[in-house]
Structure 1
């Protein structure tokens, strides 16, 4: 897809979002399902709210995974419970939408605007996340699992990027196979082997990255003051919390 096509598609989505929001604001009109939307990644067919279940809820949760709140992780279980509603409200607030806890037309239109046709958020790509092995194989999990883990982490970074003023976030290392990990001297249990590990450099201070990441679903944060991490910040998703950036008070 060339740059002109991408720009036009995003402009179209933005206009759609405005139109849907206007319709929803009309006096006496209640929008209960989303308008038809051609999207190369995923299209929702109904307004989502508390108590609902299904794959459409899980797809929403993937995109809300960066809005769980401080120290929390949003479950991708396809069940619209209180944690999903709270994450949705944080997302709506971040983008100036009506913070009503309903994933209706305006919210869905914003999500369409934020995702590319391969389901990655618009500011991150599989190519920059995986400079090691284009097949995503050779790591600690299957290729499909590694790629999915990377996708979820990209959406977490998208939320973090928004919270930090929408300035670019630069990735120096993402997925690694065992051979790639060994070549760069990575830890034997590195989250890079699972697809969700990512190293950040540039733009913001390393302490700013380390501190902000606590709000966006990352359970593994290693930054300044942790051995070998004074020149980058590592984020990942370990089963239990492991935050260490002593120079930043973490």
Structure 2
């Protein structure tokens, strides 16, 4: 709570400072967050690293079964995801990412680029270095960030109900210790096991529209006490007790 209150205070101060010296509020908030600043409006046809950064933050706003690519190309699917993001937060849903869209993103992220309701610590209870998994430490951490932004979208669609994570990235040693599958997506950093409220079935059902290609829940072996979501090359949804 203190972290969130401090962030809001800093953002307010920066916005007010921007108003005084003629700097846009969106730019001020981004710099205050020490994360990432967009310096141009993006729309269909745009390309570059700034498009990729946008895709990371809107990849959870897709249709059922869809997965948004992080390819730096602002195509129709990225525009559609931006529209859904804009509509969800009360913005004009035109599919063009401009100052108001970026301002909302800045308000939703912390200084390390994680969404305000999730942390790297929640996605990694194995080791602080993100090493020892199936990919490099940098890739595992980057994958976890993408997962957090999808969960942020999912959380908002559920009515801003807190989502609890019991397991995220695992090294091979950590995965073996908990009896995880040898091919577990936890080894790649893009998986999260969800517990608590809402129900496991509600979480599994909602996850279908937030870019997760792997959803395992009640009815799938060893998943009666959590819902597992991940981003894998091929789609696997299995939660028979939930109608999936």
Fold similarity call, TM over 0.5: yes
1:199 aligns with 2:193: yes
- Equivalent position to 1:36, from 11, 20, 27: 27
Give the match for residue 128 of structure 2: 134
Deviation at 1:36, TM superposition (A): 3.4
RMSD: 1.9
Q: Is the 8 A contact 2:26 2:106 kept in 1?
A: no
Which ranges of structure 1 fall in alignment gaps of 5 or more residues?
20-32
Give the TM-score, by structure 1 length: 0.89
Aligned length: 234
Give the match for residue 120 of structure 1: 114
Deviation at 1:5, TM superposition (A): 2.4
- Pairs within 5 Å for 1:1-250: 3=3, 4-11=5-12, 36-37=27-28, 38=31, 39-250=33-244
**Which digits, 9 at most, give the CA deviation of each residue in 1:168-198, with x for residues without a partner?**
0000000000000000000110010000111
Question: Distance in 1 between the 2:141 and 2:150 partners?
Answer: 14
Question: Distance in 2 between the 1:230 and 1:75 partners?
Answer: 31
Give the TM-score, by structure 2 length: 0.91
Paired residue secondary structure (2:122): helix
Q: Is the 8 A contact 1:224 1:233 kept in 2?
A: yes
Paired residue secondary structure (1:106): helix
Question: Distance in 2 between the 1:119 and 1:36 partners?
Answer: 15
Deviation at 1:12, TM superposition (A): 5.2
Question: Distance in 2 between the 1:200 and 1:36 partners?
Answer: 34
